[in-house]
Amino acid sequence: MSIQTLPDEAFAIPFASPSYPRGPFRFYDREFVIITYRTDLDALRAVVPEPLEIIDPIVKYEFIRMPDSTGFGDYTETGQVIPVRFNGRDGNYTPAMYLDAAAPIVGGREIWGFPKKLAKPNLRVEGEVLVGTLDCGSIRCVNATMGYKHNILPLDPIRKSLQQPNFLVKVIPHVDGSPRICELVEYYLEDLQLKGAWSGPASLQLFDHVRADVSRLPVLEVLSAVHFVTDVTLGMGKVVHDYMNGAAG
């Protein structure tokens, strides 16, 4: 590939055989289970970067089942999402994510800066209970259970919450190991088609693991749980703060 052609043709690594196609990325029948809980405020302060602001000592633990994703295939993802505020706007910050497929790990990291790690999440129905688990190697890191579709929920509040901005910290090192890119990225979920939403009782257990440290945000009280299914497009991102230059993007 010529010097002139490479910048236009190369969009992923390896440039001659990319790990994922060009976006946009559409997800069909994307299934969420979100358990909201109260945690320790000091623990939150240790993982939420400025200029994001913590609203309350609240965390949303999410399991996402993605059986039909353009470009990324069939996979499952899990992780913690923290309600935050940025420039007066409420949104969500993701400190780490755990999933079981290579393409979305690579694509998520390279494009948006999603903090994805390889692990073994699972979301399934066992009788009358939704069960979510996260294993890292042979070690159990998360047990979550939720009553299956106990109460039908109105869709508008779910849609409104999904339309909030989402924030990530994108870090790319230089070839000498020093940071070359360190940015706060904002993105949105687009073209939502909600197909149903439900609430129910829930439980959540987080266990210590050095690589999947979900327990650093301990569960003090489970507040609510929601289960919903939607089609959605993952929108492209924009830089809203450059930590290297100390300025907005």
A 10 A CB-CB count for 178 gives 7
Model confidence band, residue 89 (pLDDT cutoffs 50, 70, 90): very high
Residue 167, CA atoms < 13 Å, CB-side half-sphere = 23
d(Cα 108, Cα 113) in Å, to the nearest integer?
Answer: 6
Residues 6 or more apart from 169 whose CB is under 8 A from it? 49, 113, 115, 182, 183, 184, 185, 243
Residue of 60, 116, 120, 170 marked active site: 116
d(Cα 156, Cα 179) in Å, to the nearest integer?
Answer: 41
Checking if the pLDDT of 247 tops 80, the result is no
Q: What is the pLDDT of residue 214?
A: 98
> Which ranges constitute the DSSP H helices of 35-88?
41-45
Report how far apart, in Å, the C-alpha atoms of 161 and of each of 156, 202, 249 are: 9, 20, 25
Q: What is the pLDDT of residue 3?
A: 80
Checking if the pLDDT of 139 tops 60, the result is yes
Q: What is the pLDDT of residue 4?
A: 75
Residues 9-56 pLDDT 10s: 888 889 888 999 998 899 999 999 999 999 999 999 999 999 999 999
Q: What is the mean pLDDT of residues 145-163?
A: 97
Pick the CATH number of 20-169+186-233 from 3.20.190.10, 3.10.520.10, 2.40.400.10, 1.10.10.10: 2.40.400.10
Q: What percent of the chain has pLDDT over 70?
A: 99
Q: What is the mean pLDDT of residues 217-234?
A: 98
Checking if the pLDDT of 103 tops 70, the result is yes
User: What predicted TM-score, i.e. pTM, was given to this entire model?
Assistant: 0.94
d(Cα 38, Cα 49) in Å, to the nearest integer?
Answer: 19
Model confidence band, residue 249 (pLDDT cutoffs 50, 70, 90): low
Cα–Cα nearest to 67, from 100, 23, 34:
100
Q: What is the pLDDT of residue 9?
A: 83
Q: What is the mean pLDDT of the chain?
A: 95
> Which strand (E) or helix (H) includes residue 161?
helix 155-162
116 catalytically annotated: yes
